[in-house]
């Protein structure tokens, strides 16, 4: 499984830092939705789903957290600890966000508007989807 972590260009001086993100320049898709998670309680894991079409960039803009990625064949855990790093999460990828620091703010840039029909929330259903998706992608 290839994990793609983007390092965004911070711009700063003695006043502080700024990171600007533009679709198709810094982000590999058109940004249709932005949301963020904060005040996540200790020992809470979020996510537990995959998407059929949607792509995302996850950025922990404050604090830290970890992302468990699963493509149906292998799993990887990726830490997000810097506000200028973003993790690309493709479609057909199970994701779980966990180990949030008390001050964590996890921002998500999404390629599509919210559509419940795009979600796969059952892990066994995801494994079947990923198996079929992999066969389609290879063939």
Stated pTM of the model: 0.91
Tens digits of per-residue pLDDT, 20-69? 999 999 999 999 999 999 999 999 999 999 999 999 999 999 999 999 99
Count CA atoms closer than 13 A to 115's CA, side-chain side.
Answer: 12
Residue 116: DSSP 8-state = G
Q: What structural domains and CATH numbers belong to the chain? A: 4-11+20-138 (2.60.120.10)
Say what the pLDDT of residue 134 is.
Answer: 61
pLDDT confidence band for 139 (50 / 70 / 90)? very low
Give Cα separations from 86 to 13, 26, 42 (angstroms): 22, 10, 23
For 94, phi and psi rounded to 5 degrees? -70, 140
Active site residues: 49
Say what the pLDDT of residue 138 is.
Answer: 47
94 vs 132: which has the higher pLDDT: 94
Distance from C-alpha of 90 to C-alpha of 57, rounded to nearest angstrom: 9
Distance from C-alpha of 128 to C-alpha of 12, rounded to nearest angstrom: 47
For every residue of 4-67, DSSP letters joined together read EEEE--EEEETTEEEE---BTTTBSS---EEEEEESPPTT--EEEEEESS--EEEEEEES-EEE
């Amino acid at each position: 499984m290839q994990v793609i972590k983007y390092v965004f260009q911070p711009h700063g001086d003695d006043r502080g830092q700024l990171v600007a993100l533009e679709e198709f320049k810094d982000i590999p898709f058109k940004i249709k939705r932005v949301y963020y998670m904060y005040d996540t309680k200790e020992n809470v894991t979020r996510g537990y789903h995959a998407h059929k079409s949607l792509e995302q960039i996850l950025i922990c803009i404050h604090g830290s957290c970890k992302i468990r990625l699963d493509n149906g064949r292998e799993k990887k855990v990726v830490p997000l600890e810097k506000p200028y790093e973003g993790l690309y999460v493709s479609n057909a990828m199970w994701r779980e966000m966990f180990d949030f620091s008390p001050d964590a703010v996890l921002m998500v840039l999404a390629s599509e508007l919210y559509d419940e029909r795009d979600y796969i929330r059952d892990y066994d259903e995801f494994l079947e989807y990923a198996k079929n998706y992999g066969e389609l992608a290879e063939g």
